[in-house]
Amino acid sequence: QKKEWALLKNEATISSDGVHVELAANIGSPQDIEGVLSNGGEGVGLYRTEFLYMERNQLPTEDEQYEAYKKVLENMEGKPVVVRTLDIGGDKHLPYLSLPSEMNPFLGFRAIRLCLEETDIFRTQLRALLRASSHGNLKIMFPMIATLDEFRSAKSILLGEKQALVESGHNVADNIEIGIMVEIPSTAVLADQFAKEVDFFSIGTNDLIQYTMAADRMNERVSYLYQPYNPAILRLVKMVIDAAHKEGKWAGMCGEMAGDEIAIPILLGLGLDEFSMSASSILKARSQIKHLDQKEMKQLAEEALKMQTADEVMELVKKTTSL
């Protein structure tokens, strides 16, 4: 089996009936690129930049960030790289940023909420990204977007920094796609409106499931509610993909669900364009997709959407795809 996977390393990801999807990797640092390429990753679907900020005593400078982003873009040799802007707060905090403790950190002051208020931190990161953009195929993604206003504010800060850099003579790519993570139910529900303004969606199921089921993703006692195959989750995922396609945009997924062998047949059937997962899952997923017929999976997904429970969905997928 491992041997068959290895042969797929330099192949595109194509279903048995010829539908192409992109298999990308989630990374946390420039050192991870080696593993992405050796596992046949077609891009980086999620670069979690918060690790640049953690395990140190002060904010990373613009130049430090620039070097990291440039390295990732260069080493990916023109393949797409989706960089997520700082997603701090929740379970991740910075020792040098003293923020008041909160009753519900996962519902609190985190990610884009923090960046839109601490704009110096945000602008520094955006400048570093924009300066690095000429070294590869950069896409910028904002985390934890709950409203269109947040997206518009973040985008306008980004465009402001871009203009300032261009005016001061910097080389900035002019085709940088700007997208959002869909990890809050309000954004999934309103995806048709967001799709008119964003260049792409990446569905963050780790958080989307937690917020939809109101079940803390870190809490063992409620882990029975953490149900990726719950038809409620599948319907939200479908809404996001359909909304993107209606506006000619692409939809990816960068939560754990994207690399899950039960979820993959459904996601293929729903028309997901990009699956971003840990690098070590890519070849297995490519092999699985190669043996799936997208038209059949479309029917499977339609059936799954009408089911009542996550268990029923799991049984259906197992039965249909002989897992």
Minimal CA–CA distance to 118: which of 86, 165, 162? 86
* Site for ligand PEP contains 124 (CB under 6 A): no
Contact 175, 138 (CB under 8 A): no
CB of 14 to ligand PEP, least distance (A): 25
Give counts: helices (H), strands (E), the chain: 15, 9
Regarding 206 and contact with ligand PEP (CB under 6 A), the answer is: yes
Active site residue 115: no
Footprint (CB under 6 A) of ligand PEP, residues 81-110: 87
Which phi and psi (to 5°) does residue 252 adopt?
-120, 180
Cα–Cα distances in Å, from 62 out to 23, 47, 54, 262? 30, 17, 15, 41
Closest approach, Cβ 88 to ligand PEP, in A, equals 11
Cα distance between residue 240 and residue 234, in whole Å: 10
- Is 217 annotated to bind ligand? yes
- 48 labeled binding residue: yes
Number of residues interacting with ligand PEP: please give it, by CB under 6 A. Answer: 10
Residue 39 annotated in ligand binding: no
254 is a contact residue toward ligand PEP (CB under 6 A): yes
- Site membership for ligand PEP, residue 207 (CB under 6 A): yes
CA distance 280 to 83: 20
CB 207 → ligand PEP: shortest distance, Å? 3
- Written as six digits, the tokens of 304 are 């799954």
Q: Per the residue annotation, which of 254, 266, 267, 301 is the catalytic one?
A: 254
Closest C-alpha to 270, from 209, 170, 201, 184: 201
Could you tell which of ligand PEP, Mg ion, none binds residue 182, using a CB distance below 5 to 8 A set by kind?
none
220 annotated ligand binder: no
Q: In whole angstroms, give the CA distance from residue 226 to residue 90.
A: 18
255 binding ligand PEP? (CB under 6 A): yes
Q: Which residues bind Mg ion (CB under 5 A)?
A: 183, 204, 207
Give the C-alpha separation, 237 to 199, whole Å. 17
**Binding of ligand PEP by 42 (CB under 6 A):** no
User: Which residues carry a binding-site annotation for phosphoenolpyruvate?
Assistant: 48, 84, 206-207, 217
Q: Which residues are catalytic?
A: 254
